[in-house]
Structure 1
Amino acid sequence: MGDTNIIARLYAWPPHNRLAEEAIKRSGFAVSPLHESSIAPPFGRTEGLVTPINPSAGITLDQSLNPHIRISFNHVPKTSHGLVFGCGKQCDVVLPDERSISAHHFSITFDEQYRLIVRDLNSTAGTEVIFGKDVGHISAKFPRRNFQWLVEGSCRMPSSKVVIRVGLKLSFYLVPETQSMPQTEYKMKVDNFRQGSGTAQALFASINTRLQCQPQPVVGAIASKQDPIYQEMVIGKGAFGRAKYMWNVSTGEEMVLKEPINESTISPAWLQRWKEEAYTMRKLHHENILKLLHDEFWPRPQLFLEYCPGGPLTGIAHELSAVEILQVLQQSLAGLQYAHKIGIAHRDLKLDNILVASRSPLKIKLADFGIAKSDAQLQSVCGTPPFMALDIWAMEYPDKARYYTKLVDIWALGVVIYHLLFGVPVGYGPELCVKIVRDLRTYLQTNRGTIAEFLAKYMLRLQEVDRSSAAACYRGAMALPTPNDEIRGSTKASADCNSTAEDTLSETNLLDWLQGSTRPGTRKRAAGDARTSECRSQPRKRNISTKQRDDNSSGCGGSTSKLCSISDEEWNLTQLPTEQSTVTQTDLSGLFW
């Protein structure tokens, strides 16, 4: 077992760099595993190089056999500024007297959150820390003064390679050690390291004075506290936009940048859509809705969003228990009822747009309000087809008086939960909507399920007037008992939920409703409801034509070119087998009507 007190190792970069190796050999922390020769006396600003360098051939950095500085909890720095590097004689590690190296140039220490950092001590020429793939490009000039870098990276972008560049000729390769000691012991040792031995009061005072002054920067140095530095990585990409993970190297802050892929294709209309999305998200402040941190529109649209480390719900869909699926339902409804309350319809709820902020405890956030809109006037055919409600598909039929409401979100969320319970529903368009309702009803005739019954009663209803509001669904979901649903894979669910021959009925009723006829027994819209047209902003995935009235459908699992049939009885799916009902263990009727 290795020495748990080792914090990091510092090597010359590139390997056998003359200045860096000489500085390492002359420090009091030098380790030379293969060569036990005596360490040369230290040098400072008034001293030059004394001992010639004779690097041994065949020794690689990966073998950890080159001379290096071992930074350890066993060797406490002289001051609370950490292990100080510079050409001043009192520094912990004395660097050669070069024009671009300050008396107290940089230090390696810990921040208040016990994270290993490199900090520039307001040096004249600045310090640069280079991560990962950029290590080979040490000629780039981005030094910072009075700046700090978290050298171990983030969970998503751990730093396997870190180079510290001091001036033009001197660079070090830093290799942090993985700590395996108990957290309490680790924090105690870090506190002791940060406190320092207090044996160099003059050095401490000199560094404090330097940190408070503002020396004139040289060419190439950048005022560090003005502009943050981010490590970036593309984590998602679509036809027109992309999402970048961004990690602040100084604070550790994580965020996601959403921006267009090609700036040259940003038309005024597209720019307006970006602005509308930002405007919508600025109004949303809820723990279960992804937060917009800030936005910029020059020279291109950029939305900086909260980062959820768990990624989309799709990634953990297969491992969720019934209790966790209920939590997804409850939290999604919490965010949805808030959005609906302030008049915003999401219109694109799906597994990919529900993000996991934490796994244990499970916490989710609704994301991607790119096609969200005020719920007053909705007519666009938009969304993701498997999650689109029948009322959205109805917009394929030319009827200027028709519109849909924010209750399409209730359907979409119901399909999300259906997916988590039974797997991916197979089909497309209006017939998929009918298939989901029919299969769920068929399943509940022979099975029990707290969540499944809730979906069938209040959310997965073909007609929007039969769906409950987000607020009512939220109250009902929060009142549900511990769920007894059996989580089924898509294959088994498909077999158990297969439609029977008795379900194959005339499709005329569905077509009549799609074309505007009012079905018997359904509630009508209030006479004062607004019905104005809206441009259809999304291309149609499929056109449902009246020619299909002559087609015959033999069930929901057949060709997607035919509409599934549905009877008058199936339009009213409120009757569930009460002897199997678990929802009735808690009286929810007063919560909905």
Structure 2
Amino acid sequence: MSSPTYVGVKDSDVLYLFPAPESPAEECVKHPSNRRYVRPIRTFDCAFATDAIVLSFEVPPRRLSTGWKFGSNEGETDIFLGDNPSIKQLISGTHFTIGFNQNSGVLMLTNHSSIGTFIRSRADDDDDSNAEPLRRLYFSSVLERRTQIVLPGYNFIAVVPRSSDDQTYQALLTAGLRSPFSGYMTPITPPEGGPPVHRGGYSIRNIIRKAHPLNRTHVDVFVAVRISTGDKFVAKCFVKRENPETREMRFLQLLEDRKHDNIIRLEEILDAGESIYLVMPASPRGDLSQHEYLQWSESQKTHTALQILAGAEFLHRSGIFHRDIKPENLLLFTENPVNIKIADLGSATSQALANDLVGTENYAAPEVVLASNAGSSPYRTNLVDSWSIGVVLLTFYNRIEDYRNIRLFHGDGYHKILQMVASNCARSKMELPRLVALTVVIEPERRLTVAQCFQQCKNIWDRLAENLGPPILSQATIPNRPLGAGSADLPPTLDLPSEFSYFDRDGTPPPGSPNTATAGSIGTRLEASVSLSIDSIYEGLYTSASATSDVDRDG
């Protein structure tokens, strides 16, 4: 049964508390001290309204960081629990509070009484047979969509009146708590589509990504809330009969004792009978694909690149090769300063050579795409990650979406275009674009390894940081400092291998080099902030193909 829909829900409404009939809870609603919190509430399928205590931003608590206080001290609490002499001695001055987790925005009930506050999650109907047993709460607990709150003489049904994607509510809460929430991690997450799954102290709630439209299966991703704190996580679901021990679980367990700031960590493994949930931290800023990083400063881009490479280099040193590095798998925990964590080891391998087709086509190396061909040679898994990271870094300066349709009609033409665009990046006076030219290279043997890229990027960061303060680097820690200052144009000091040395030290291509701008060449000089025209790319592709055909005919 779906939750009732309430009439006249205001944008500022947080929670409705309905009193049990003929109980002191009704006296609480009628008490003059609580009048400003009381409003008649009714559902669409009911002709009559019921007076309820409404917690709302319209009538905020004395301190939003603490929440609304309930108790017998009329001068100190927000909601006075009455002066019934038969039960007053059982009610503490502040008996409980209802407020928000400051980091996640999840609604919490916190007990402040030695007697305790009794709660239980309720089904969407009022049948007591569907309710969990009452449990005495001595600390804190999240509030579900419907929660029964019981204390001596008082009985309330607390109802969250809105859906989890309410953007107006989110904006109000963000402003009130002065804390940003974005992406799929909205502040309010009542479970949708049925009651939540409770396992190991977590409430598995709304789905973030569903692999199958009908069943909870491999590999759905859910919002998970730690019941005792309200902190948010993501829970990745695996069905045991499909995959009893996933590669991702194995690799995350392997890394438990070797934590790194730029690799997502495993919080818990929850056994839910037929399913297993891998619980991992939730990124409050979503993933990299959700951000307009083309507009970031050069220092932010370099800092981000350094963290991606640091995480990938750590994985490689641990004998793990990711094989699906892309913006969607790069979680952004903070934006200023940038903090990136590599996620999703579902395609990872510990084999140095492989021939299976994995990853995402737009970011997969050419040799991976060719792996499905009969008789293809195994590819080196460490160099696959180099290509993918190079393409991700290329998107810092170009919108590669413009080139993706080429793959559908020209096969490997897509990879050739990416290499052409990357080689033009080498003309920039800034060093990070020049590093891209060393990774987006079709021939794997000419491509820098992740370890080499990481070392080069550290050198770039060191030179860039002269204007911003010294970086703090270790094997498990990445620089963590403000990146608001813009970067100065630095001389191109990156040492390119001879086969890539197409530019003089002033950035000018020597005559006859592959990057010399001629009438039939691909594009013109590319500054870091300018994208190549897709028309020139198409024109160059067809011109090159036509010239090759003429040579073949002449031969």
What range is the shorter-chain TM-score in? 0.5 to 0.7
Deviations 1:32-75 (A, max 9, x none): 6999xxxxxxxxxxxxxxxxxxxxx867659999xxx99657xx
1:300-319, aligned counterparts within 5 Å?
Answer: 300-317=275-292
Contact residue 224 and residue 279 of structure 2 kept, 8 A: no
* Partner residue, 2:155: 170
Q: 2:138 aligns with which of 147, 153, 172?
A: 147
TM-score, normalised via structure 1 length: 0.57
Shift of 1:337: 0.7
For residue 356 of structure 2, give the secondary structure of its aligned residue in structure 1.
coil
Q: 1:414 aligns with which of 383, 390, 396?
A: 390
The answer to whether structure 1 residue 455 and structure 2 residue 458 are counterparts is no
Contact residue 127 and residue 167 of structure 1 kept, 8 A: no
| Counterpart amino acid of residue 415 in structure 2 | C
Shift of 1:149: 3.3
Shift of 1:85: 6.2
1:85-484, aligned counterparts within 5 Å?
Answer: 93-94=81-82, 103-104=90-91, 107-109=95-97, 117-119=109-111, 121=113, 123=115, 127-128=118-119, 140-149=131-140, 164-166=149-151, 170-171=155-156, 173=158, 228=201, 230=203, 232-239=205-212, 240-260=218-238, 263=239, 266-267=241-242, 271-273=245-247, 275-282=249-256, 285-296=259-270, 299=273, 300-317=275-292, 320-323=295-298, 324-399=300-375, 402-423=378-399, 424=401, 425-426=403-404, 427-428=406-407, 429-442=411-424, 449-456=430-437, 458-480=438-460, 481=464, 482=487
Contact residue 274 and residue 301 of structure 1 kept, 8 A: no
Shift of 1:391: 2.1
Deviations 1:279-321 (A, max 9, x none): 4553652101111112245622221112111112110045641
Contact residue 12 and residue 20 of structure 1 kept, 8 A: no
Deviates more, 1:368-377 or 1:280-289: 280-289
Change (3 A) 1:167 1:501: same
Counterpart Cα distance in 2 of 1:247 and 1:107: 24
For residue 345 of structure 1, give the secondary structure of its aligned residue in structure 2.
coil
* Partner residue, 1:486: 528
For residue 31 of structure 1, give the secondary structure of its aligned residue in structure 2.
helix
For residue 291 of structure 2, give the secondary structure of its aligned residue in structure 1.
helix
Contact residue 348 and residue 371 of structure 1 kept, 8 A: yes
Structure 1, unmatched stretches of 5+, are: 1-7, 36-56, 77-81, 154-158, 184-225, 508-551, 555-564, 566-593
For residue 406 of structure 1, give the secondary structure of its aligned residue in structure 2.
helix
For residue 285 of structure 2, give the secondary structure of its aligned residue in structure 1.
coil
Change (3 A) 1:278 1:442: closer
Counterpart Cα distance in 2 of 1:71 and 1:476: 53
Counterpart Cα distance in 1 of 2:72 and 2:90: 8
TM-score, normalised via structure 2 length: 0.60
| Counterpart amino acid of residue 235 in structure 1 | I
For residue 349 of structure 1, give the secondary structure of its aligned residue in structure 2.
coil
Change (3 A) 1:178 1:374: closer
Contact residue 347 and residue 408 of structure 1 kept, 8 A: yes
Shift of 1:18: 5.1
Shift of 1:16: 7.3
Deviations 1:427-486 (A, max 9, x none): 3353321221023335656x6553322111x21111222122222211211222447653
Deviations 1:511-566 (A, max 9, x none): xxxxxxxxxxxxxxxxxxxxxxxxxxxxxxxxxxxxxxxxx799xxxxxxxxxx9x
Contact residue 9 and residue 70 of structure 1 kept, 8 A: no
Shift of 1:251: 1.3
Deviations 1:300-354 (A, max 9, x none): 2221112111112110045641422222211100101111111110001111111
Counterpart Cα distance in 2 of 1:259 and 1:288: 23
Counterpart Cα distance in 1 of 2:15 and 2:326: 48
Shift of 1:116: 7.0
Counterpart Cα distance in 2 of 1:455 and 1:111: 48
Count of matched residue pairs: 414
Identity of aligned residues (%): 17
Change (3 A) 1:9 1:353: closer
For residue 359 of structure 2, give the secondary structure of its aligned residue in structure 1.
coil
Counterpart Cα distance in 2 of 1:453 and 1:397: 32
Deviates more, 1:17-26 or 1:312-321: 17-26
Deviations 1:79-111 (A, max 9, x none): xxx75469xxxx973586999x99348822489
Shift of 1:380: 1.4
Change (3 A) 1:23 1:168: closer
| Counterpart amino acid of residue 260 in structure 2 | H
Deviations 1:378-403 (A, max 9, x none): 22121111111122233234447633
For residue 302 of structure 1, give the secondary structure of its aligned residue in structure 2.
strand
For residue 252 of structure 1, give the secondary structure of its aligned residue in structure 2.
coil
* Partner residue, 2:25: 20
Counterpart Cα distance in 1 of 2:541 and 2:202: 61
Contact residue 84 and residue 107 of structure 1 kept, 8 A: yes
Change (3 A) 1:10 1:436: closer
RMSD (CA atoms): 5.0
Shift of 1:160: 9.2
Shift of 1:246: 1.2
For residue 353 of structure 2, give the secondary structure of its aligned residue in structure 1.
coil
Counterpart Cα distance in 1 of 2:173 and 2:359: 46
| Counterpart amino acid of residue 404 in structure 1 | R
Structure 2, unmatched stretches of 5+, are: 1-12, 40-47, 74-78, 161-168, 179-198, 213-217, 465-486, 490-526
For residue 395 of structure 2, give the secondary structure of its aligned residue in structure 1.
helix
Contact residue 15 and residue 54 of structure 2 kept, 8 A: no
Counterpart Cα distance in 2 of 1:179 and 1:466: 49
Shift of 1:136: 7.0
Larger Rg: 1
Shift of 1:231: 6.0
| Counterpart amino acid of residue 373 in structure 1 | T
Deviates more, 1:104-113 or 1:327-336: 104-113
Contact residue 261 and residue 341 of structure 2 kept, 8 A: yes
Counterpart Cα distance in 2 of 1:369 and 1:308: 16
